Structure 1
Amino acid sequence: MGVPKFYRWLSERYPCLSEVITDAQIPEFDNLYLDMSGIIHNCSHPNDDDIHFRISEEQIINDIFKYIENLFNIIKPQKVFFMAVDGVAPRAKMNQQRARRFMSAKNADALIEKAKRAGERIPTVKRFDSNCITPATPNTLS
C-alpha cells in the first residue's frame, strides 16, 4: 500500500535521496532494506501484456534471487541487510487484489482469443497465474 506523501516528505527532507550516481561513485552504506513486494511483483509479472510470454515458478524464484543478489552487490551493506515480506493483508485488500487479478486473467483470455482469431500461434505452456500467490489459496497453505 504505502504511506501517502511519505516519499515527497522524505525527499524534501533529504534531497540527496534522489541524487543520480554512477557505478564509480556509489557511497558506502551501513544498511540495505528491501520491500520484497515490489521485487516479487516485478519478477512474477515482467510482461503481462504479451500473450506469448510464459514464465515458470522456478524462473520467477531464480529472477528474485538474481535481483536481490544484484542489489546486494551494488550497495554492499556493511551492517544490516533486511528483507521485508508482507504478511497476510486485511480481508478487504485481499478481496480487492483477488478481483483485480481475476479481471487481469479475464483480459488476458480475451487477448488470447483475439490473437487466435488473428491466426497467431499461442504457446501451449500454461501462463503463470498470479492468483496462486494470494493468501489463503491452496498453494499458500502447504
Structure 2
Amino acid sequence: MANVIYRGPSNAQPETVSNKTVAGAYLPGILVTEGADTLTVATAANIEADLLILGNAGFAGQDIETAYTAGSTGVAYRSRPGENYQVRLAAATYAKGDALTIGASGYLTSAAAGERVVAFFDGEAGAITAGALQDVRIANSFNRA
C-alpha cells in the first residue's frame, strides 16, 4: 500500500477541511462527519450526511498508521465521484468493483440491496481484515438495487 490517503487523479488536488479537532483517537482513512468545530467518526446513521475521509497530518509528520490524539487538529478530504482514496474497511471478502457503504467505526463495508453506495472497492480481491487500508473509487452516491 502507498503511504497516502488521497490516491488521485494526480492532476487534481482534493478539497480539504482542516482547523477542526478530531473527537477521538482516530486513524487516518476512516469516514468522518464535520461539525461546527469537530470531526466525528461516521456510522451508518450518517449515510445522508456529508461524509469526509480523514487524512493524515503529513505536514506535522503523522503517517497513515498513526492515530490522531483526541482534540488534535485533523485534516479531512471532501471526496468527489471518481476520486481514489485508501480507506479502512470492515472485515470481509471483497471483489474488485464491489459496492461499498458506511458501516461501524467509520469503515466502509459491502452495500446490500437498498443501501446507499458511496464507493467501489478498487483493491486486490480477497479477504480483508477489519481496519485495513484498501483502495476505493468514490461513487456518485445512489441506492443499490
Q: TM-score range by the shorter chain?
A: under 0.3
Greater share of residues in strand: 2
Specify the structure having the higher radius of gyration (Cα): 1
Q: TM-score, normalised by structure 1?
A: 0.20
